[in-house]
Amino acid sequence: MVTILAIESSCDDTSAAVLRDNVLLSNVIASQKVHEQYGGVVPELASRAHQQNIIPVVDAAIREAGIQKTDIDAVAFTRGPGLMGSLMVGVSFAKSFAQALGKPLIEVNHLQAHVLSHFIQAESGSTPTFPFLCLLVSGGHTQILLLRDHFDMEVLGQTIDDAAGEAIDKAAKIMDLGYPGGPIIDRLAKEGNPEAFKFATPQIAGYDYSFSGIKTSFLYFLRDQLKVDPDFIENHKADLCASIQKTIVSFLLKKVERAALDHQVRQVAIAGGVSANSLLRSELQRICDKHGWTAFIPPFKFCTDNAAMVGIAGYYKYLRGEFADISLPPYTRG
């Protein structure tokens, strides 16, 4: 049996988790509220908050797991991509902790970790088998991946500009709904009519995406409407949320469905922060049911950033004997 302590600090969540093999023993997340008033993550404030949070979060993860520090066999950490200052805190902590324990280090790619969260032993249900497709959708990334093995992920398509989560967050910002906009739009959309307004999606070749045009046409549409009715957003908030959400989700899934058909894959997973979106979840299930495919939809706690996913990625690297040198620096881009 292998016990892994995992650390995640790539953006604005400080998280630590303990796994015993593929079983999660604890997963502690400290979310940083300080960014809300700025409508986005402020990097300097994020690294400062990570520094305040990291020791209590790791302590809590070890305590909740019911283990001793000496039980830890390896320390896994997110090396990148992410914000440099944020990564530095988790990376430095992981290195010193591993060195103090005399245990090996395992570096983890944040995006791979999001995808591999599907291999954390589930309380119910099964894990995917290879090959399978995964739509990775977060605030920073939008990719369709074909997985042939745990670390063999072929990028079939990706966004050429904004990420899906970024587009949703920007739409929310335009409507002055708050940050992060994803969960707010999801909630308000439940009361609205998704067919109320139509927003065009761009024609992009293959399995690639583009979201900046959707955001711009949303902005211009609202500008025109506000000239006629200054209360337009207030009066149509739910319909606007439902319509923009539907536009983005349909665009995402249309390409995923195409990719699964073309590659004859019968299992489709979603991962990353936007996979918490209720329409994306229900629409993926509907498409999979239609084709007789299996949908893998992560529990909410594994959608947004967490260390449990870093731990499961670390576990598979441990099995492969892939350990990291203490001199490795973080990297900001995937």
List contacts with Zn ion (CB under 5 A). Answer: 138, 305
Indicate the residue type of 67. Answer: I
Query: Which CB, 26 or 304, lies closer to ligand KG4?
Result: 304
CB 297 within 8 A of CB 284: yes
| Shortest Å, Cβ 290 to Zn ion | 29
Alpha helix stretches (DSSP H) within the chain: 43-65, 84-101, 110-116, 164-174, 181-189, 212-228, 232-262, 278-291, 308-319
CA distances from 156 to 134, 159, 165, 224 (A): 10, 11, 19, 37
| Shortest Å, Cβ 249 to ligand KG4 | 9
- Decide if residue 11 touches ligand KG4 (CB under 6 A): yes
| Shortest Å, Cβ 115 to ligand KG4 | 11
- Decide if residue 139 touches ligand KG4 (CB under 6 A): yes
Q: Is the dihedral of CA 91, 96, 19, 60 positive or negative?
A: negative
Q: How many CB atoms lie within 10 A of CB 254?
A: 12
Of 155, 118, 130, 137, nearest to 248 by C-alpha is 137
Q: How many CB atoms lie within 10 A of CB 333?
A: 7
Report what 32 binds from ligand KG4, Zn ion, none; CB cut-off 5-8 Å by kind: none
Query: Which CB, 98 or 269, lies closer to ligand KG4?
Result: 269
User: Rounded to whole angstroms, how far apart are CA atoms 312 and 318?
Assistant: 10
- Decide if residue 183 touches ligand KG4 (CB under 6 A): yes
Query: Which CB, 61 or 168, lies closer to ligand KG4?
Result: 168
- Decide if residue 272 touches ligand KG4 (CB under 6 A): yes
User: Rounded to whole angstroms, how far apart are CA atoms 105 and 87?
Assistant: 15
Among 274, 297, 309, 324, binds ligand KG4 (CB under 6 A): 274
User: Rounded to whole angstroms, how far apart are CA atoms 61 and 98?
Assistant: 16
Residue whose pair of structure tokens reads 């995402």 in the numeric block: 252
- Decide if residue 308 touches ligand KG4 (CB under 6 A): no
- Tokens representing 1 are 């049996």
Indicate the residue type of 267. Answer: Q
CB 152 within 8 A of CB 129: no
Among 180, 298, 311, 330, binds ligand KG4 (CB under 6 A): 180
Report what 181 binds from Zn ion, ligand KG4, none; CB cut-off 5-8 Å by kind: ligand KG4
- Decide if residue 182 touches ligand KG4 (CB under 6 A): yes
Among 85, 90, 192, 273, binds ligand KG4 (CB under 6 A): 273
Query: Which CB, 190 or 254, lies closer to ligand KG4?
Result: 190
Show the binding pattern over residues 99-138: x = contacts ligand KG4 (CB under 6 A), - = does not. ---------------------------------------x
Among 8, 107, 169, 257, binds ligand KG4 (CB under 6 A): 169
| Shortest Å, Cβ 141 to Zn ion | 8
| Shortest Å, Cβ 276 to ligand KG4 | 4
Query: For binding to ligand KG4 (CB under 6 A), which residues are involved?
Result: 11, 138-140, 165, 168-169, 180-183, 186, 272-274, 276-277, 304-305
